[in-house]
C-alpha cells in the first residue's frame, strides 16, 4: 500500500495550509488574515486613545486657566496651568503659561524653575523663550536675556516673539540701534505686529527720534477700540517731545480730566530725568504693558 505523505508535492501543500492556519491565528499580527486589511493591536489603540484623552484634558484646563487669567484671577490660573502641565507633559504651552503667570504674581524664582525645566525639553519654544526673556529683563538682567535668546537666532529657530524680547533687552542696555534691528527682524516675520511696532516706536522715542516714533504708531491706527493702547503711547511720545498740548488732546479722548493732568505731569517729569532714568521708566511701562496670550491652538511641539 502506497503511503500518502511520501508525495513531496503533497507535503508542501500540507505545510502551506498549516502555515496559513497558524499565521491567521497569531495574536500580534499587524496584517491579519481578514481579507488583506490591516488591523492595529489593541494596546496601540489604547495608547493612542490615552494620548488623545490626555491632550483634550490639558486643552480644557488651559482654556479655563486662560479665562481666569483674563478675569485677573492669577492664582487660580496658575493652578489650572500647573494641572495642564501634568496632564500633557510633552507640550511647552502649559508651563510657558504657568511661568508667565508666576512672573505676574511676583513669584520669580518659581517662574525661573518652570522655564528652566520646559526649555530643557523644548529649547526653541518661542513661548518659553519669550516668557523667560521677559522675566530676566524684569529682574534687571537684560544681558542674561540676550545670552538666552541669541542661540535661537543663531540656529534660525527664532520667531517674532524672540526678536521682540531681544529688542526690549537691547533697549534696556541703551543700545537702541540694535534694539530696532531686532524689532525690524521680527516685523519681517510678522508684518504689522502691534507689539513689535509699538516697542519700535518707543525705542525711537528713547533716541529722541520723536517724529519717526509718531509715524510708526500712526501707521498702525485702525480707528477702532483696538487703538487705545496705541493712543496712550502716542500721547507719551508727544509728551517726551515736549508737545504737551498734543499729548493732552489725545488723552482727553481716553481719560477723565484728573487722570489727564496726572499723565501730563508724569510726562514732564520724564523729560526732566537723566537719560538712564528715563530709559528705565519707559522700560517699566513696556514690561507692564506686555500681556502674553496662550492660545490652545499655539504650536505644541515648538
pLDDT, average across residues 5-31: 43
Give tens-digit pLDDT for 150-176. 999 888 888 899 999 999 999 999 999
DSSP 42-83: HHHHHHHHHHHHHHHHHHHHHHHHHHHHHTT-HHHHHHHHHH
| Calpha distance 203→143 (Å, rounded) | 18
Q: Is the separation of the CB atoms in 169 and 145 below 8 Å?
A: yes
pLDDT of residue 292: 82
Give tens-digit pLDDT for 201-250. 999 999 999 999 999 999 988 888 888 999 999 999 999 999 999 999 99
Q: Which three cell numbers stand for residue 143?
A: 544681558
**Residue 291 main-chain phi, psi, to 5 deg:** -130, 100
Residue 293, helix vs strand vs coil = coil
Kindly tell me if the per-residue pLDDT of 273 is higher than 70: yes
Q: Is the separation of the CB atoms in 98 and 85 below 8 Å?
A: yes
Please provide the average confidence, as pLDDT, over all residues in the chain. 84
Name the band, by pLDDT with cuts 50, 70 and 90, for residue 42: low
Name the band, by pLDDT with cuts 50, 70 and 90, for residue 296: confident
Kindly tell me if the per-residue pLDDT of 12 is higher than 70: no
Q: Is the separation of the CB atoms in 180 and 204 below 8 Å?
A: yes
Q: Which three cell numbers stand for residue 19?
A: 502555515
Kindly tell me if the per-residue pLDDT of 44 is higher than 60: no
**Which has the minimum average pLDDT: 51-55, 99-103, 123-127, 239-243?**
51-55
Kindly tell me if the per-residue pLDDT of 144 is higher than 90: yes
Between the ranges 54-58, 284-288, 298-302, where is the mean pLDDT highest?
A: 284-288
Name the band, by pLDDT with cuts 50, 70 and 90, for residue 290: confident
pLDDT of residue 52: 56
Q: At what angle do helices 160-172 and 176-189 cross, to 10 degrees?
A: 170
CB atoms within 10 A of CB 79: 17
pLDDT, average across residues 105-110: 96
214 closest CA partner among 231, 237, 239, 243: 237
pLDDT, average across residues 288-292: 81
pLDDT of residue 155: 84
| Calpha distance 231→6 (Å, rounded) | 99
pLDDT, average across residues 187-201: 93
Polymer length in residues for the chain:
302
| Calpha distance 288→165 (Å, rounded) | 14
Amino acid at each position: 500500500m502506497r503511503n500518502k505523505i511520501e508525495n513531496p508535492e503533497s507535503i508542501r501543500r500540507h505545510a502551506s495550509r498549516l502555515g496559513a492556519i497558524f499565521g491567521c491565528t497569531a495574536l500580534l499580527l499587524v496584517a491579519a488574515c481578514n481579507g488583506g486589511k490591516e488591523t492595529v493591536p489593541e494596546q496601540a489603540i489604547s495608547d493612542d486613545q490615552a494620548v488623545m484623552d490626555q491632550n483634550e484634558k490639558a486643552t480644557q484646563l488651559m482654556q479655563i486657566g486662560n479665562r481666569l487669567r483674563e478675569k485677573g484671577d492669577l492664582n487660580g490660573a496658575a493652578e489650572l496651568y500647573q494641572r495642564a502641565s501634568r496632564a500633557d507633559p510633552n507640550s511647552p504651552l502649559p508651563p510657558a503659561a504657568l511661568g508667565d503667570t508666576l512672573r505676574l504674581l511676583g513669584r520669580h524664582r518659581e517662574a525661573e524653575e518652570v522655564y528652566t525645566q520646559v526649555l530643557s525639553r523644548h529649547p526653541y519654544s518661542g513661548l518659553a523663550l519669550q516668557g523667560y526673556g521677559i522675566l530676566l529683563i524684569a529682574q534687571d538682567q537684560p544681558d542674561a536675556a540676550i545670552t538666552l535668546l541669541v542661540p535661537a537666532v543663531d540656529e534660525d529657530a527664532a520667531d517674532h516673539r524672540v526678536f521682540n524680547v531681544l529688542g526690549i533687552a537691547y533697549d534696556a542696555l541703551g543700545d537702541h540701534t540694535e534694539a530696532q534691528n531686532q524689532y525690524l527682524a521680527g516685523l519681517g516675520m510678522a508684518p504689522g505686529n502691534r507689539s513689535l511696532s509699538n516697542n519700535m516706536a518707543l525705542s525711537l522715542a528713547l533716541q529722541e527720534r520723536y517724529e519717526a516714533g509718531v509715524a510708526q504708531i500712526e501707521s498702525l491706527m485702525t480707528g477702532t477700540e483696538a487703538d487705545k493702547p496705541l493712543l496712550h503711547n502716542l500721547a507719551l511720545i508727544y509728551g517726551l517731545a515736549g508737545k504737551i498740548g498734543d499729548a493732552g488732546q489725545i488723552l482727553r479722548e481716553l481719560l477723565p480730566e484728573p487722570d489727564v493732568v496726572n499723565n501730563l505731569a508724569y510726562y514732564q517729569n520724564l523729560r526732566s530725568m537723566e537719560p538712564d532714568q528715563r530709559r528705565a521708566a519707559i522700560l517699566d511701562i513696556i514690561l507692564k504693558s506686555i500681556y502674553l496670550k496662550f492660545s490652545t491652538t499655539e504650536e505644541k511641539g515648538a
